[in-house]
Amino acid sequence: MIAFLSLFTHILVSPFRSRESLEAEIVLLRHQLNVLRRKLPSKPRLSIADRLIFVWLYRLFPSALNVINVIQPETVLRWHRQGFRWYWRWKSRSRGGRPKIPVEIRRLIREMSLANRLWGAPRIHGELLKIGIEVAQSTVAKYMAEGGRGRSQTWKTFLHNHASGIAAMDFLVVPTVGFKLLFVLVILRHQRRRLISLTVTSNPTAEWIARQITEAFPWDQAPDYLIRDRDGCYGHAVTRRLAAMGIRDHPTAARSPWQNGHAERLIGSIRRECLDHIVVFGEAHLRRILAAYAIYYNDLRTHLSLDKDSPSHRPVRQLGQLAAQPILGGLHHEYCRM
């Protein structure tokens, strides 16, 4: 470091010295260099400061290459090119780049691509702009869940789109206190799991079932499809009534109750939540019980498949005093605000 400062001081003083003294000093230094070269190895070791001095003098005075004896002129040129590359590498260094996309936006893009399988990057990008999220379309394409996203809708979406036109019916057998069997015809709509009818009879005939279907579905509300099992009580009167109402009859396969899963699930709920806790005295008693349960089921009971809402859309109330009203003698309760 002291030698470098001494050299720098000498450079500053040189313009004020006479030409004769400078030439004499140069001749003396050259002679000393020739003497030292005879004792030093052929390739002397140079520090980084030495290389910087050579390169700096070459940039100021290119003709100085003709008097260099310690190293070859090509070495100085190579050092200069290397320094040029280092300089531009430093000048082109990253200064932070584009801001990172927040984790919430990346997760939202992935969820939108999975939930809307027919949407591409332009459509998702447009939706993000409409909700105030400004990102590039290339960013949307980068974070979309491409792998396994598929080109088709899911079965859940397919069934949901057709649920409004599907109904189902099945029979529930209830024993009375005198061991008499009563038959309950259960009819529901797949859309919002709404219970349409709970009718009771001790002798289910085809004509009676056809009449219940007519009362359950007015002409402007008849479903497109009706799912039922292959019970013998569904005779020609039922099939003719369905054809006259424009309803396509879809009987399930033999011994396949899972094909009418919505009706079977509803019958199970009626048993577990109501009839398993009550002794039925007769047909009139059973009608009163089922009527009360139907109101509870459609208007109050929450369903997991409906995002914990009731089939008739139970509104949320946050004001008023909380009160509990018993249903079915206290078997269930309605919690409301008065």
pLDDT of residue 4: 55
Report the largest interatomic distance among the alpha carbons of the chain, rounded to a whole angstrom. Answer: 140
Looking at the chain, list the stretches that DSSP marks H as alpha helix, in order from N- to C-terminal side.
2-13, 19-37, 48-60, 73-91, 103-115, 121-130, 137-143, 155-162, 206-216, 236-244, 261-273, 283-299
* DSSP-assigned letter for residue 153: -
Q: Residue 195 corresponds to which tokens in the numbers above? A: 């219970």
Strand partners, 182: 174
Q: Residue 277 corresponds to which tokens in the numbers above? A: 């806790």
Reading the chain (338 residues) residue by residue, the pLDDT tens digits are: 565 566 556 666 666 666 666 666 666 566 556 666 656 656 666 677 666 766 666 666 666 655 565 566 677 677 778 888 888 888 887 776 677 889 999 999 999 988 887 888 999 999 999 988 999 999 999 999 876 555 667 777 788 888 989 999 999 999 999 999 999 999 999 999 999 999 999 999 999 999 999 999 987 889 999 999 999 999 999 999 999 999 999 999 999 999 999 999 999 999 999 999 999 999 999 999 999 999 999 999 999 888 899 999 998 888 888 888 899 988 998 888 88
Amino acid at 71: I
Residues 180-193: pLDDT tens digits?
A: 999 999 999 999 99
Distance, in Å, from the CA atom of 247 to the CA atom of 216, rounded to the nearest integer, reads 13
Quickly tell me which residue has 């008065």 as its tokens. Answer: 338
Looking at 116-174, list the stretches that DSSP marks H as alpha helix, in order from N- to C-terminal side.
121-130, 137-143, 155-162
Strand partners, 169: 187
What is the phi/psi pair of residue 224, to 5°?
-80, -30
Stretch (H or E) spanning 173: strand 166-175
Q: Are 217 and 247 in contact (CB under 8 A)?
A: yes
CB count, 10 Å around CB of 204? 20
Q: Are 125 and 137 in contact (CB under 8 A)?
A: yes
Distance, in Å, from the CA atom of 194 to the CA atom of 185, rounded to the nearest integer, reads 15
Distance, in Å, from the CA atom of 267 to the CA atom of 199, rounded to the nearest integer, reads 13
Quickly tell me which residue has 């105030």 as its tokens. Answer: 132
* DSSP-assigned letter for residue 64: G
Residues 251-306: pLDDT tens digits?
A: 999 999 999 999 999 999 999 999 999 999 999 999 999 999 999 999 999 998 88
Q: Are 286 and 174 in contact (CB under 8 A)?
A: yes
Q: Where are the domains of the chain?
A: 2-88, 103-149, 162-337
Distance, in Å, from the CA atom of 161 to the CA atom of 159, rounded to the nearest integer, reads 5
Distance of CA 70 to CAs 8, 33, 73, 76, 81, Å?
20, 8, 10, 11, 19
* DSSP-assigned letter for residue 309: B
Give the fold, CATH level 3, of 162-337. Answer: Nucleotidyltransferase; domain 5 (3.30.420)
**pTM of the shown model:** 0.61
